[in-house]
């Protein structure tokens, strides 16, 4: 099998790709632009892509192509309808990053709750040394216990976040973005109520017509003072202009692992808010623990092996 991996850089440089090489002749590219894609896969039987877009035209120009493996859960970078019409199998990998995303959710939440960046600065810049006090209470923080934790999107990741939040003593509220997931162990409420009630809100839903620009000035203004909003779902769910405006107006906090445009544009207003300590931005890494990426590679290998067995 002629296997082409289009964007190896997105998987990290610490993965052992030998299991893929055992399945066929592997060609890897660090990154692939839209202009390069068609040429690079014209002779491929199997293509592996994380974010590189595979259009109908590209598939039509790859006559040997039999299988597209998406190195992710989301499948919106491949024209699935065209693939079906052309008899090309498309496989993704699901569930590999749940533990990593849950962990990152609480890393962000706890860092913001306990004002860690502020206290780290105080301890290192001489402020604490000059104070003659054994402690510093200049940035009051609270416990998760007894607070309301709101979850937008109670899928597999959302449910795991709920379990951990409960272990901290939080009370769980949730909002179903599809409107169909309303039979659970937790209380469902509408989005406005969630914003009014909750001290911490985390987003774990996909980006679609229901969730595009779901969080905007109409509900951001409903957030409680000092509330924390976390986006571990997809960029585009939060209107970033509106969030920047609200962060500048009053004391609320946000943690974002996903942005509408990735990598983040230097002109993004979130990079220029007055109180930068109120915002944590990470470069779309919640999914990417070492363990999660190893599971992802294992899932890709399994998808190829299964396909090969079914087609021998």
Q: Which active-site residues does the annotation give?
A: 234, 262, 284
- Going by C-alpha positions, the residue among 235, 212, 236 that lies closest to residue 282 is 235
Asked if residues 207 and 234 have their Cβ atoms less than 8 Å apart, the reply is yes
262: Cβ contacts below 8 Å, ≥ 6 apart = 235, 283, 284
Asked if residues 149 and 165 have their Cβ atoms less than 8 Å apart, the reply is yes
Rg of the chain taking only CA atoms, in angstroms:
22
Work out the number of other CB atoms within 10 angstroms of the CB of residue 147: 18
Q: What is the DSSP string of 15-68?
A: ---HHHHTTSEEEE-S---HHHHHHHTTT-SEEEESS--B-HHHHHT-TT--EE
Angle between helices 98-113 and 290-310 (to 10 degrees): 160
> What whole-number distance in Å separates Cα of residue 282 and Cα of residue 280?
7
Helical segments of the chain, H only: 18-21, 34-40, 56-60, 80-85, 98-113, 116-124, 156-167, 191-197, 217-220, 240-249, 290-310
> What whole-number distance in Å separates Cα of residue 61 and Cα of residue 2?
16
CB burial readout 57-81, b (16+ within 10 A) else e: ebbeebeebbbbbbbbbeeeebbee
Please give the backbone phi and psi of residue 138, each rounded to the nearest 5 degrees, phi first.
-75, -20
């Amino acid at each position: 099998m002629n296997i082409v991996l289009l964007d190896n850089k997105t998987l990290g440089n610490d993965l052992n790709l030998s299991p893929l090489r055992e399945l066929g002749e592997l060609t890897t590219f660090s990154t692939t632009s839209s202009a390069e894609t068609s040429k690079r896969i014209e002779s491929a039987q199997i293509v592996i892509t994380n974010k590189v877009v595979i259009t109908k035209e590209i598939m039509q120009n790859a006559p040997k192509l039999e299988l597209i493996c998406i190195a992710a859960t989301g499948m919106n970078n491949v024209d699935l309808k065209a693939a079906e019409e052309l008899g090309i199998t498309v496989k993704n990998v699901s569930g590999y990053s749940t533990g990593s995303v849950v962990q990152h959710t609480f890393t962000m939440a706890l860092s913001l709750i306990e004002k860690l960046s502020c206290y780290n600065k105080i301890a290192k810049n001489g402020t604490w040394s000059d104070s003659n006090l054994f402690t510093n209470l200049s940035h009051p923080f609270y416990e998760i216990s007894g607070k309301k934790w709101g979850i937008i999107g109670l899928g597999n990741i959302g449910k795991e976040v709920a379990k951990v939040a409960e272990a901290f003593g939080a009370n769980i509220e949730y909002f179903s973005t599809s409107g169909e997931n309303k039979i659970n162990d937790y209380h469902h409420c509408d989005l406005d109520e969630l914003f009014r009630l909750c001290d911490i809100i985390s987003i774990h839903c996909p980006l679609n017509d229901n969730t595009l620009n779901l969080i905007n000035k109409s509900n951001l203004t409903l957030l409680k003072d000092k509330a924390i909003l976390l986006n571990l779902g997809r960029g585009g769910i939060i209107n970033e202009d509106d969030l920047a405006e609200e962060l500048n107006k009053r004391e609320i906090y946000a943690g974002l692992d996903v942005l509408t445009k990735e990598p983040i544009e230097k002109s993004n207003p979130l990079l220029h808010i007055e109180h930068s300590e109120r915002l944590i931005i990470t470069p779309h890494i919640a999914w990417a623990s070492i363990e999660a990426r190893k599971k992802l590679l294992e899932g890709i290998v399994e998808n190829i092996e299964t396909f090969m067995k079914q087609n021998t």
